Structure 1
Amino acid sequence: MNRACDVTLPFTPIVIIGAGRSGTNALRDAITRLDGFATWPCDEINPIWRHGNLDHPDDEIPRSKATPQVRAYIRAAFLRIWRQRGKPPFVVEKTCANALRVPFVDAVLPEARFIHILRDGYDVVASARKRWRGELEMPGLPYFIAKARYAPASDLPRYAFSAASARLALRTGKRTHLGSWGPRFAGMQDHSDRPLDELAARQWAACVTSADAAFKTIDPARFTTLRYEDFTADPAGTLAGLLDWLSETRPGEQIAAAAGSVRRSSVGKGASAASAFAETVHQVLAPPMRRHGY
């Protein structure tokens, strides 16, 4: 298996980087409706990314943890899905926790191109807190079975126990929100007793700040940044721009069809809730929002 470390991948990995509830799903789904772009038939593959580092306390896995064995395992997983999906020129991957470990991802996939998608922090907090409360849940058993297909068998018991325990605590009223949801930034447990809006704000800010720092060290030709608001306002134009960045072309009707399911209805919903947020939430959101012109 270690040969996967040494062999250049026969396709280009496209890694979407973004905090949870930032439009990563919508972007991945639109891109992979285009010919030549494929992805996993499940939501995220964090178990693949964390294999070999499952005991690391959070998702901020450092570059040094990309050992030859870890790199070989993850690269082999990309090769398998590439073969299963018909050997397309591009394999698209979206796992929100990767926003906290871009250097690690870069060490595993030096061939990758990155798309960093950003969204207004207030909109993210308004949406993310629903997921933290167990709302907006994905379909139950089929969703977990799809993810389990691509999780390392040796790691499955820990994931199953963690998921079951978290949801049981919600259903029995022991907790008002999940103990953990989305990317786990360093020290997240230290904030677990804070108001949920603040926890969601810190999670978003950690993802954006970590990704910003990482992309300062990566060749600018290998990544591009876009805003969710621009993507939803002109999804076809955004897809055309991404294709141009990749030196690819597709027929206009194919681009329009791929963009057809993108909706703008969720943009701005956080503004109406912002007045009720504690001052701490505004303080946490302000620096990364200013950096990106929000």
Structure 2
Amino acid sequence: RPVVRTPDYDRPVIIVAAPRSGSTALFETLAVTPQLHNPGGEAHWLVEGFRMYLPGAPGVDSNRLTAAHLTPEVALAMKSRLAEKLVDASGAPADAESVRLLEKTPKNALRIPFFNALFPDARFVFLWREPEENISSIIDAWRAGGWVTYPQLPGWDGPWSLLLPPGWQALKGTPLPEIAAYQWATTNQTIMDDLEQIPADRRHVVRYSDFLADPAAVIRGVCGFAGLEFDPALAERTGGDLPPSRHTLTPPEAGKWKKNAAEIEPLIPGLKPLIDRLRAFG
């Protein structure tokens, strides 16, 4: 592929969510519109292709990054690396002077200030899922072994799965359900704290249950927020039941989380203040 010129990134649409909260389904739904370009899936390489942002590098001990971690040189390099991978809705390489980027990588939910510095006009779509369902799915992902992000994490016994939240070191020796609840809670809390520092017209909240119940209404809401047209491609994609996303472990069904209920239910009372904040956040 020839040398790619770096396009003008106009109001990127960045989905932020805890892992296993339905963000792949939301990303794949929005990716069908020709109005958006995306990096072809989750872009873990975009940040972690820079060794200084890997956990264990100086000043980095988790997936948390702030504006202070971004230099002008890295910003230029990131935008050009992204340009090389960008595809349109059909999967063809991007060839436009200005693009609307669609991005979704769960680890980036802990890096909102970093991405806000990289793209000062970004639009953040915050997706959240009820704790029982989301924590159950995180537990299942750990047990399935297919979501290992750090096979050898210094200071941790065995492989680590999914995003690495600040404070993970204190979880050593903790039962898996508590690790999963910590990942869910810390990610959602961090997202809300960070989005409160950003103008309200650049953040939009989606509940996963609403998205499942009426995908067209939710996507219309996202379009209105992001300045996109609810075009025929989006209308067709949301016209019936959503297809399973590429990261689905087992098909969605109501009450699926209950197989882990005995492990999850004791954790819910401690999460109540966060749950109340999520329901009120908008």
TM-score normalised by structure 1 residue count = 0.76
1:86 matched to 2:95? The reply is: yes
Q: Which runs of 5+ in 1 are unaligned?
A: 1-6, 139-143, 145-158, 167-174
Query: Match of 2:32?
Result: 33
Task: Indicate whether 1:226 and 2:212 are aligned.
Answer: no
Of 70, 87, 92 in structure 1, the residue corresponding to residue 74 of structure 2 is 70
Match in the other structure for 1:257: 236
Q: Which amino acid aligns with 2:272?
A: A
Equivalent position of 2:173 in the other structure: 193
Aligned to 2:108: 98
Q: Which amino acid aligns with 2:36?
A: F
CA 1:270/1:134 → structure 2, altered by over 3 Å: closer, same or farther?
A: closer
Looking at structure 1, the residues matched to 9 and 119 of structure 2 have their Cα atoms a distance apart, in angstroms, of: 12
User: What are the equivalent positions in structure 2 for 1:1-294 lying under 5 Å apart?
Assistant: 9-42=8-41, 44-50=42-48, 51=50, 52-54=52-54, 55=57, 56-82=60-86, 84-87=93-96, 89-135=99-145, 137=146, 162-163=150-151, 179-251=159-231, 253-259=232-238, 260=240, 261-262=242-243, 265-271=252-258, 273-277=260-264, 279=266, 281-293=267-279
Deviation at 1:90, TM superposition (A): 1.7
CA distance in 1, matches of 2:202, 2:82: 19
8 Å CA contact retained: 2:46, 2:82: no
Higher helix share: 1
| Matched-pair contact (CA < 8 Å) for 1:34–1:258 | no
State percent identity of aligned pairs.
24
Q: Aligned-residue CA RMSD in angstroms?
A: 2.7
* Amino acid in structure 1 at the alignment position of 2:94: R
- List alignment gaps of at least 5 residues for structure 2: 1-5, 88-92, 245-250
Contact 2:11 2:101 in 1 (8 A): yes
Contact map agreement 2:38 2:103 (CA 8 A) in 1: yes
Distance of aligned partners of 1:275 and 1:217 in 2 relative to their CA distance in 1, 3 Å threshold: same
- Count of aligned residue pairs for this structure pair: 252
Closer, same or farther in 2 for the Cα pair 1:276/1:197, shift >3 Å? closer
Distance 1:247 1:205, change over 3 A: same
Distance 1:129 1:57, change over 3 A: same
